[in-house]
Amino acid sequence: MINTAVALVSLLPLYEKIKVQEEYKLTDSGSSRAVLLDQELDKLDQKSNLITHQIFSQKSLKRVPLNVIRDQSQKFLDDSLLGITYLDSQGRPQLIVGLQVPEKSLQFAQSGIRNQYELSFMTQPDNFNRELYWIEVNSIPEDESGNLVLFLFKVSPAIQDSISCTDFSAACQTILGSSHNDQKFLTIHHPNFPAPDAELTNQLLQDDAINLARERTLESKIGTIWCKDCNFFLTYSPVPEIGGGLIFAIPRADLYRSIYRQLFKVSSLVFAVIMLGTGAVILALHPFLNRMHKEIVKRRKIESDLQQERDFTQNLFDANPAFLIVLDTHGMIKLVNHAMLNATGCSLDEVLGKDYLRTFISRSPEDNLPWVFRLKLGQQKLVQTEEKILTQDGQEIMVEWHGQAVLNSNTQKCEYFLGAGLDITERKRTEEEFQLLQRITKAVSVAPDFDAALEVALRLICETTGWEFGEAWIPNPEQDHLDYSSVGYCKTDQFQQFRQLSYPFNFELNQGLPGRIWFTQRPQWIADIAHEPEALFPRRSLCLEYQLKAGFGVPVLAEGQVLAILTCFISVVSPEDKRLVELISSISAQLGTVFQRKQAETKYRSIFENALEGLFQSSLEGRYLSANPALAEILGYSSAESLVRRQANMKEIYYDLEDYNRFLKILQQKGEISNFEAQVYRQDGRLIWVLQNIRAIYDHRTQRILYYEGSMVNITNLKQTEEKLRYSASHDALTGLWNRSFFMERLKRAIGKVQKQNDYHFAVLFLDLDGFKVINDSLGHGIGDQLLIEIGQRLRQCIRSDDTLARLGGDEFTILLESGDNNVEEVKEIAERVQMSLRRPFDLQGHQVFTGASIGIVQSSLDYHLPPEILRDADTAMYQAKHQGKGCSVVFDAAMRTDAQRRLQLQTDLRWALERHEFRLHYQPILELKTEVIVGFEALLRWNHPQEGFISPGEFIPIAEESGLVIEIGEWVLLKACQQLKAWQQKYPHHSSLTMSVNLSSQQFTADLSDRIGRILAETQVNGRDLKLEITETAIMSDPKAAVATLRALKQREVVICIDDFGTGYCSLGYLHQFPVDVLKIDHSFVSQLFVSSDHQEIVRVIVALTQSLNIQAIAEGIETSDQLQHLRSLSCQFGQGYFFQKP
């Protein structure tokens, strides 16, 4: 028995060897068959992609008709492609061509849509004769709506046989493992063999071993594993095309059945010769056992050498200072070295097996395509690119990647991707800083002036460094404090108020952050403003209020002089960044010379552009090199730039070429010309007379003429001749302009054109003349008609040839602008052109008349369908312009409704203001100018609104007049003013001669005014001679005859009559002597301009002289300086009032 046991034990090595051989044979066969399956499925994938691109060709499913898709799809069906199904973004079939995808498979595809992944898979439905089918799922190119195409392929029997493992055992099961949890496994069995036991299969699929095998295939690993609980031996191999792998599961008894048969034969032989003796048996087996031993020793050595080689390779991989990473064909991380782990702050366990893109890449539109994508999409063997990768703490580092696709030497198919990268973050930062320095210097150099250069520098510095607020401080001319610059940078609008509140600050040397920088001429950094004492940082509280917590600043120096201080702030506490300070200091050093030049350019440009005479430089050929706005205006150009850009020769503008030849001859002989007169053409073709002075500028070394410089003054009084207007049925009979009917047709056509053409835009200007009724009533309808005719002629000069000008009726005009883009700026420019044209006085039959227009503007919109809708909104905008004052233009917008609501609210509040005692009277003294003794007061009305505070009379008086409340309010003012006057007279009896002036609205100037005044005088016991009523020229001239009667009734009560703001209205001197007027009040606009314009001095002199000739008094309003007082005294003006004496 001992001999028998020894013999059996000696067979154990043989058993182990045969066992390993069987396992290896199964593993090798599984790996080969997995490669074969992957190749076959890859062909199907390429075929489906080709079909998809040919059918759709850059169009989405919705944009290709279904009948076209059906016809084209039918052409591709063959023995292998059995059907095509089109699904929408919800997974619903939209079209089925050929064989339909099985219901279970369709549900699985729909699950993929819901989970937002594109998954191809196999299916083996019961009603397809148990054949194996492959369903390829493709998205549609250039389609972002999520539509999918399902291709139903039949896997050939040869492939089905090749991936079957029934040649190992009839009970062997073929299992496909997937990367998606919706269908982890698919079991495949050969149709010639009975289906495996379902319970045993379920037990196998639920075991942890097969899940582990599936996960390893996802990691592109090949190997074996025991399923101990279900007693199966598993071999697994990756199949990239299915996103998983091929798994063979064979029962243990079937795997080792051949081993057991061999052992049985050997053991029988042992028992047969047992009688021959143990020694003989051992002797017979000895050579076989020796060979087995040598084979085991050799195998162990090979394994040891392989392990050493692996360790050496791993050490080289980890010790490499460059980033090294290995990805599988799905972009999953297989290996990564220490250099990359240390740089990103990740551990190996955190990244191994994870998706590279999701782990390290944060894509933005301007980034390069990741290197692994470029390898996969372009099928390139080598890629070089720069890419940002994320670190564990969310920071970004820039890496220069060299990517390599590693191919299988036999199949030439990609097995994995190898990437080698260098951290170039510091190099990139240095490059960016250098580029920033160049960019700022270049941008500042081309800025038009010093302020623009400052603004560009602040914006680029803040945007590049991430600081949120930038400002500049400029030393004042006396160099004793810093002034706040008008330019700056605000990342968000919340800092605009901080800017406004900073304007009053003026920092002296060593005061505040700007003052410290000015004093030290060195950069300063404040890490936390909250820790700064208020004495050293005066804006500390202001900064903290607006969440500005850190700041720094640098001086801009040139030749040792501080030109500007640049300071920046941020809303987080920020420790000093020495690199940033060095960078900004370098930038400021470069900016110093540029800023110095810009300051000089700005100074000289100011002189150049603000000169009253036209200044220019011209080439030797006579073309303008530069020109100022005055010259452009003289020659009729909209701007100096347009004059220079036209490149016109001086010769072209001369009316008489003999004048030009004489001009050129003198210039060539003497090098300069003085006071040369000539007649020239304006840009618009009009002839004007000009006076020119010009001289040559020489190169001081070569004495060669470089260019000419000179001046031009407009000395002509020639008026533009006007073309006669032709009348027709479509024209206004009075003005010759288009009439309302024609205008509405043109407007209707324009509205239709807007609906059809996206690039067509128009605008409508609605004009209403200011003060036309007064002119018409006072000077007669003949003068009014003549005024309308001349206004029409002026408006024609303001529009373009394709525009339409019409008179709607009365004093209303409309303009339809169809030329150009008609954007807001262009339309406003045209409106301003109209206003400037109407501001010039009109000479009408010996009367010089001034008028203007209120203009409402409406731009075209798809919301307009009828002409009346546009005229309605234009009329609304025009009335808004009237409320803003004479000669205003307003573009219609929805905010006007808000303004109307406010006016309605103020009108409502006005009705309660008297009852709630919200009105106040302020009194301004009136003095005798010779003695400066107070002789009376003017009562001025103020409204203290409970919510809005004091509201200007200029705002609520027009509302009161519109609503009719001004009569009641005026009565209250008269009553209170008389009561106050009586109280003063009683309190100061020696001043009983004091008078009280009260302003009257035109609505109060009615036939019963005398009676109402009489009741108030009787109630307050004030003498009529102590009350002065100030009435405007407009109120009197609205009905001169009635005015005379009313004024005479007031004079019977001894009331003093004053004409207020004399000289600004339309009072006719022919009527003035008929009115019982006691006082003329000289408007403050004339007094304030006494020393600005000689015309205003003359007007004041004439008014004073007029009062003296009429033996009435003159009161000057708005006296604010002693010079004005002295001048009025010299004119013998008797009385005056103003801030120079006392505010109300």
Confidence of residue 722 (pLDDT cuts 50, 70, 90): very low
**pLDDT value, residue 190:** 60
The tokens 């610059």 sit on which residue?
Answer: 485
Domains of the chain, first to last = 14-250 (3.30.450.20), 320-423 (3.30.450.20), 429-590 (3.30.450.40), 611-714 (3.30.450.20), 740-893 (3.30.70.270), 906-1136 (3.20.20.450)
**pLDDT value, residue 1096:** 83
Nearest to 687 by CA among 717, 722, 650: 717
DSSP 248-265: EEEEHHHHTHHHHHHHHH
Helix, coil or strand: residue 1021: coil
The tokens 């209303």 sit on which residue?
Answer: 812
136: its two tokens: 């390829």
State the alpha helices, DSSP H only, in 757-885.
772-779, 781-796, 824-839, 867-884
Query: Model confidence over 19-44: pLDDT tens digits?
Result: 666 677 777 777 778 777 777 777 78
Tell me which of 89-93, 541-545, 1064-1068 is least confident: 1064-1068
8 A C-beta contact, residue 573 and residue 528? yes
β-bridge partners, 237: 246
Nearest to 467 by CA among 486, 484, 489: 489
Tell me which of 506-510, 726-730, 792-796, 837-841 is least confident: 726-730
Which residue would you say has higher pLDDT here, 165 or 272?
A: 165
User: CA-CA distance, 1036 to 859, in Å (whole number)?
Assistant: 40
Tell me which of 435-439, 571-575, 662-666 is least confident: 435-439
Q: Number of helices (H) and strands (E), helices first, in the chain? A: 39, 41
Burial of 84 (0-12, 13-18, 19+ CB in 10 A): buried
8 A C-beta contact, residue 815 and residue 826? no
8 A C-beta contact, residue 591 and residue 444? yes
β-bridge partners, 681: 687
8 A C-beta contact, residue 711 and residue 772? no
Query: Average pLDDT of 532-548?
Result: 91
State the alpha helices, DSSP H only, in 547-685.
578-610, 629-634, 640-646, 650-653, 657-670
**pLDDT value, residue 559:** 79
Rg (CA), the chain: 49
State the alpha helices, DSSP H only, in 469-577.
496-502, 512-520, 540-545
Query: Model confidence over 625-651: pLDDT tens digits?
Result: 888 888 888 888 888 888 888 767 778
Query: Model confidence over 133-148: pLDDT tens digits?
Result: 788 887 776 666 667 8
Side by side, the strands of the sheet bearing 133-139 are 93-98, 81-87, 148-154, 133-139, 121-123
Nearest to 444 by CA among 432, 467, 460, 463: 460
**pLDDT value, residue 62:** 58
Query: Model confidence over 580-618: pLDDT tens digits?
Result: 888 888 777 777 777 767 666 667 777 777 777 888 888
User: CA-CA distance, 893 to 877, in Å (whole number)?
Assistant: 8
**pLDDT value, residue 179:** 66
**pLDDT value, residue 14:** 55
Which residue would you say has higher pLDDT here, 215 or 979?
A: 979
Angle at 796 between CA 795 and CA 802, to 5 degrees: 125
Burial of 883 (0-12, 13-18, 19+ CB in 10 A): middle
**pLDDT value, residue 65:** 80
Query: Average pLDDT of 707-732?
Result: 65
Query: Model confidence over 255-281: pLDDT tens digits?
Result: 666 555 555 555 565 555 555 555 555
Residue 783, by phi and psi: left (phi above 0), alpha (psi -120 to 50) or beta? alpha
| Whether residue 1018 has pLDDT greater than 90 | yes
**pLDDT value, residue 265:** 57
**pLDDT value, residue 311:** 67
8 A C-beta contact, residue 1038 and residue 1031? no
Tell me which of 340-344, 518-522, 723-727, 782-786 is least confident: 723-727
913: its two tokens: 């203001």
β-bridge partners, 401: 385, 421
Query: Average pLDDT of 81-110?
Result: 80
**pLDDT value, residue 1012:** 92
3: its two tokens: 């001999």
Nearest to 971 by CA among 1001, 934, 992, 946: 1001
Stated as kind and residue range, the H or E segment containing 458 is helix 450-465
Cα 333 to chain centroid distance, Å, stands at 40
| Whether residue 688 has pLDDT greater than 80 | yes
Query: Average pLDDT of 664-690?
Result: 85
Residue 409 is classified by DSSP as T
Contacts of 754 by beta carbon, 8 Å cutoff, 6+ apart: 760, 761, 762, 860, 861, 862, 864
User: CA-CA distance, 1029 to 1050, in Å (whole number)?
Assistant: 9
User: CA-CA distance, 521 to 555, in Å (whole number)?
Assistant: 6
Nearest to 1010 by CA among 1062, 1063, 960, 1048: 1048
- Percent of the chain predicted with pLDDT > 70: 82
Mean predicted lDDT score pLDDT of the chain? 81
8 A C-beta contact, residue 732 and residue 796? no
| Whether residue 217 has pLDDT greater than 60 | yes
Tell me which of 165-174, 396-405, 684-693 is least confident: 165-174
Nearest to 1028 by CA among 1017, 1042, 1015, 1018: 1017
8 A C-beta contact, residue 557 and residue 595? no
User: CA-CA distance, 136 to 121, in Å (whole number)?
Assistant: 7
Which residue would you say has higher pLDDT here, 43 or 923?
A: 923
Tell me which of 216-225, 441-450, 688-697, 936-945 is least confident: 441-450
A 10 A CB-CB count for 983 gives: 11
**pLDDT value, residue 725:** 43
Query: Model confidence over 278-304: pLDDT tens digits?
Result: 555 556 556 656 766 676 677 677 767
Buried b (16+ CB within 10 A) or exposed e, 611-629: eeebbbbbeeebebebbbb
Burial of 759 (0-12, 13-18, 19+ CB in 10 A): exposed
Single-letter residue type at 795 = L
Query: Residue 842: phi, psi to the nearest 5?
Result: -110, 130
pTM over 0.85? The answer is no
Nearest to 471 by CA among 411, 554, 561, 594: 554
Confidence of residue 747 (pLDDT cuts 50, 70, 90): very high
Nearest to 680 by CA among 654, 702, 712, 715: 654
8 A C-beta contact, residue 1084 and residue 1138? yes
Residue 507 is classified by DSSP as B
Burial of 340 (0-12, 13-18, 19+ CB in 10 A): buried
**pLDDT value, residue 934:** 93
User: CA-CA distance, 89 to 587, in Å (whole number)?
Assistant: 54
8 A C-beta contact, residue 282 and residue 8? no
Cα 130 to chain centroid distance, Å, stands at 62
Residue 731 is classified by DSSP as B
Query: Model confidence over 5-15: pLDDT tens digits?
Result: 544 555 555 55
User: CA-CA distance, 160 to 734, in Å (whole number)?
Assistant: 99
Q: Could you give the C-alpha distances from 1105 to 489, 1068, 1075, 1123, in angstroms and in order?
A: 57, 16, 18, 20
Contacts of 973 by beta carbon, 8 Å cutoff, 6+ apart: 919, 921, 939, 941, 998, 999
8 A C-beta contact, residue 1009 and residue 1046? yes
User: CA-CA distance, 1 to 734, in Å (whole number)?
Assistant: 144
User: CA-CA distance, 806 to 848, in Å (whole number)?
Assistant: 25
**pLDDT value, residue 728:** 62
50: its two tokens: 């080709």
Single-letter residue type at 697 = I
